[in-house]
Structure 1
Amino acid sequence: MTISKPAARRHVLQETDAEADRQLNTLTGWRRFIDGPPTPPVLASRSAWQQMNPAERDLYDESRLDHHARMLTVATSFVERTAICGRRLVLLNRHAISARRGLIVSGPAGTGKTIAITQLGLSHELLDRARHPHATHRIPVVYVTVPPAATARMIATEFARFLGLPVRARSNMTDIIEAVVGVCTDTRTALVLVDELHNISLTSRHGAEVADTLKYFSERLPATFVYAGIDIGESGLLSGTRGAQIAGRFTLIPS
């Protein structure tokens, strides 16, 4: 039996959508992460496994490996310190009108920075759900990543993409920012996680504009901002006029 081209195309699109739904920088993917790992696959007996044909056996083994790849995160002292400090800042900023404090998680590559800030986001969102069990419209946490060689429009688009807002080619920066601020305010966003901060270079015009855009978002949104990146202290992001503003308002946690 052959599969028609439209059917094959639909299958590919469905697989692409499923992969996109696993990404943390989309609202659907973030909520899947918050809802926890899927139900473990049914454990087949040894005899049942031996009776499977090679294709069935491969699919069965793959489902088990996929489940084990999403096991629980170990709460190391670094993860706990990030979560405690982040939750305290959220409480301190709750009634702040301006000059909200933030958090920077910095360290070498592969030291668990993304895990630490996403666990902070997980704990905050679970607490928010416990406080408002029937408020399904709330988006208490926003998670975005800074793209390589990012521009101000690109970072604003990342916020819009997480929220599922359409960004058209003719949309200007003001339109995108106002839409993001409006949705985040209406949905009571209280924590914004910005990963891969090391992709910003304050020595370039685009990098400086990205830093200014993030600062503008932090002033417009009644939320606590948490940044994570590789060796932020040594990258120059905390030096100069813009860097001094960041360093003065953010607590640095080394990984």
Structure 2
Amino acid sequence: MSRGPGQSGDSADGYGHLQLTTLPGWRGFVTEIPAVPELLPEAIWSGLADDKRACYDDDRIDHHSRLLVVQTPTIRQVITSGRRLIQMNKNAHYGRCGLMVSGPARTGKTTALTQLGKTVEVIHRRRHPNSSSDIPVIYITVPPAATPKMIAMEFARFFDLPISTRSNITDIADAVCGVSTDAHVTLVAVDELHNLNTATRAGAEASDTLKYFSERIPATFVYAGISLERTGLLSGPR
């Protein structure tokens, strides 16, 4: 039996909520409010049985691993720029502007990208409380040595579309664009863009596929990757 959008088999293994590249995982990230564990006095903590103390310590470590993201100037700038572009692109029939977040590794590009997506989705839910079927944000990552079909499959995977192994890229793209339009997607976040190698034919065609999606889906595309200005993505006809 095939699964529809919003129903993912990833959640069954207990790790689906960690996959932002799936709709259930993304929604879990947006709505998650970690519970703050009670801080026990040292006398009570030391008096706990070993197994209970270990569980208590694990809960506190788990809490600290999910602390809130600090709104740095860079994150605020990405969020402000992204929201402004969404407003500008709202009524555009073509030629929508996008945004690139570039920098060295481990400098917070993914954090900025996901915080923009989270902000956009939270605002959408507040403004449209009765639109539970809407999917305002898509989040995907570009696979290494990406091909056009791999890019299309990342979009389909986010929606958990029942794609047949015999489906070609046109079938997948049509399904993705149809669901995106029906679900009122306003932001498409594309991470790990440096995995696109436009020096190869497959990489160049994958780049064209992303551009095709940006023209078919009436949304603002935001990209993030390592030193994108040095990868060749911003040079040449593409």
For normalisation by structure 2, the TM-score amounts to: 0.91
Aligned-pair CA distance for 1:14: 8.8
- For 1:167 and 1:241, locate their aligned partners in 2 and report how far apart those are by CA, in whole Å: 32
1:99 pairs with 2:99: no
Q: What residue is the counterpart of 1:144 in the other structure?
A: 140
Kept in 2, the 8 Å contact 1:37–1:70? The answer is no
| Secondary structure at 2:206 match in 1 | helix
Q: What residue is the counterpart of 2:131 in the other structure?
A: 135
Aligned-pair CA distance for 1:127: 1.0
1:228 pairs with 2:224: yes
Amino acid in structure 1 at the alignment position of 2:182: D
Structure 1 runs of 4+ with >3 Å offset = 13-16, 42-56
Kept in 2, the 8 Å contact 1:107–1:229? The answer is yes
- For 1:168 and 1:153, locate their aligned partners in 2 and report how far apart those are by CA, in whole Å: 13
Kept in 2, the 8 Å contact 1:37–1:67? The answer is no
Q: What residue is the counterpart of 1:213 in the other structure?
A: 209
- For 1:220 and 1:14, locate their aligned partners in 2 and report how far apart those are by CA, in whole Å: 28
Aligned-pair CA distance for 1:226: 0.2
Q: Which of 192-201 and 114-123 deviates more?
A: 114-123
Q: What residue is the counterpart of 1:4 in the other structure?
A: none
Kept in 2, the 8 Å contact 1:79–1:119? The answer is yes
Please point out which of 45, 53, 60 is paired with 2:56.
60
Q: What residue is the counterpart of 2:192 in the other structure?
A: 196
Identity %: 53
Kept in 2, the 8 Å contact 1:22–1:28? The answer is no
- For 2:205 and 2:199, locate their aligned partners in 1 and report how far apart those are by CA, in whole Å: 11
- For 1:154 and 1:63, locate their aligned partners in 2 and report how far apart those are by CA, in whole Å: 38
The 1:222–1:203 alpha-carbon spacing in structure 2 relative to 1, beyond 3 Å, is same
Alignment of 1:109-124 (within 5 A): 109-124=105-120
1:81 pairs with 2:72: no
Q: Which of 91-100 and 122-131 deviates more?
A: 122-131
| Secondary structure at 1:240 match in 2 | coil
Aligned length: 230
Kept in 1, the 8 Å contact 2:17–2:29? The answer is no
Q: Which runs of 5+ in 1 are unaligned?
A: 1-12, 243-255
CA shift digits 1:137-187 (9 cap, x unpaired) = 000000000011111111111111111212231121111111111111011
1:156 pairs with 2:146: no
1:30 pairs with 2:32: no
CA shift digits 1:85-136 (9 cap, x unpaired) = 1101000000000010000000111111111111111111111111101110
Q: Which runs of 5+ in 2 are unaligned?
A: 1-8
- For 1:14 and 1:172, locate their aligned partners in 2 and report how far apart those are by CA, in whole Å: 24
CA shift digits 1:31-80 (9 cap, x unpaired) = 11111332223444545533444333323212211111111111111111
Aligned-pair CA distance for 1:20: 2.1
The 1:219–1:140 alpha-carbon spacing in structure 2 relative to 1, beyond 3 Å, is same
Aligned-pair CA distance for 1:19: 1.2
Q: What residue is the counterpart of 2:4 in the other structure?
A: none
1:165 pairs with 2:161: yes
- For 1:240 and 1:217, locate their aligned partners in 2 and report how far apart those are by CA, in whole Å: 20
Amino acid in structure 1 at the alignment position of 2:153: T
